Amino acid sequence: MSLPAIAIANLAFRWRPADAFCLKLANATVDAGKSLFLHGPSGSGKSTLLNLIGGVLLPERGSVSLLGQPLGEMSASRRDAFRADHLGFIFQQFNLIPYLSVLDNVLLPCRFSARRARRVSEPAAEARRLLAGLDLDPGLLARPAAELSVGQQQRVAAARALIGRPEILIADEPTSALDAGRQVAFVELLLSEARQAGSAVVFVSHDLRLAAHFDQSLALAA
């Protein structure tokens, strides 16, 4: 049996020692290639949980293991390298580099991770394939990211997260700026690419109508 892509056990996190725990989660796993829909009211800790899964934050109690490796046992630099090698992250505000072209933005993970670069035979061709699969007009590839619409930037952020087939794909409310029809289309394209790559997906959204597209759902309480 293969290890889960993400395994969370007895997690408790708070921002300051004097605060109450802002997040408690007994157990959650996401198997390789499976998808989890994460929802809950604003302030319930969704983004905090994504940062714990990404090893950007560390829990006070409990553990997060990715691909069988406990993040809490890695040094900070090892965690950074592990993240670059194995995680694709789509941020809510996309975090594209505004002056870089669409193509160069998508290629960034291959610059930061030799492993991601090795997993694609021709990075530029793979970037083009992903962007076409995500329905981005090929005429935009040389444009600076700053000149794209929000929906176009979202596709670039998704392609950047997917390049080099990371085992884990994390998406923080990437659809909130889109209308309902485009949200569903985007989720379907993203999940289809993730499935082909065998990536486990954690996807945050307020929009419960999207939950049906995912293998499992997890609700965080306020």
Ligand X SMILES: Nc1ncnc2c1ncn2[C@@H]1O[C@H](COP(=O)(O)OP(=O)(O)OP(=O)(O)O)[C@@H](O)[C@H]1O
Ranges within 3-22 binding ligand X (CB under 6 A): 15, 22
Q: How far apart (Å, rounded) are the C-alpha atoms in residues 150 and 194?
A: 21
What sign has the CA pseudo-torsion 135, 138, 141, 143?
A: negative
Contact status: 47 vs Mg ion (CB under 5 A): yes
Binding residue count for ligand X, defined by CB under 6 A: 10
- Decide whether 40 or 151 has the Cβ nearer to ligand X: 40
The contact mask relative to Mg ion for 106-145 (x = CB under 5 A, - = no) is: ----------------------------------------
Residue 213 CB: number of other CB atoms within 10 A?
14
15 binds, among Mg ion, ligand X, none (CB under 5 to 8 A by kind): ligand X
42 binds, among Mg ion, ligand X, none (CB under 5 to 8 A by kind): ligand X
Contact status: 45 vs ligand X (CB under 6 A): yes
Beta strands in 14-163 (DSSP E): 23-30, 35-39, 61-66, 69-70, 87-90
| Tokens matching residue 25 | 């989660």
Contact status: 75 vs ligand X (CB under 6 A): no
Residue 132 CB: number of other CB atoms within 10 A?
13
Residues in Cβ contact with 20 at an 8 Å cutoff, skipping those fewer than 6 apart: 14
Q: How far apart (Å, rounded) are the C-alpha atoms in residues 156 and 3?
A: 30
Segment contacting ligand X by CB under 6 A, of 4-12, 40-48, 99-107, 151-159: 40-48
- Decide whether 22 or 100 has the Cβ nearer to Mg ion: 22
Segment contacting Mg ion by CB under 5 A, of 20-28, 39-47, 129-137, 138-146: 39-47
Q: Which of 26, 27, 43, 149 binds ligand X (CB under 6 A)?
A: 43
Beta-sheet strand order (sheet of 35-39): 87-90, 168-172, 200-204, 35-39, 216-219
Q: Which of 11, 37, 48, 126 binds ligand X (CB under 6 A)?
A: 48
| Tokens matching residue 140 | 């935009």
Binding site for ligand X (CB under 6 A): 15, 22, 40, 42-48
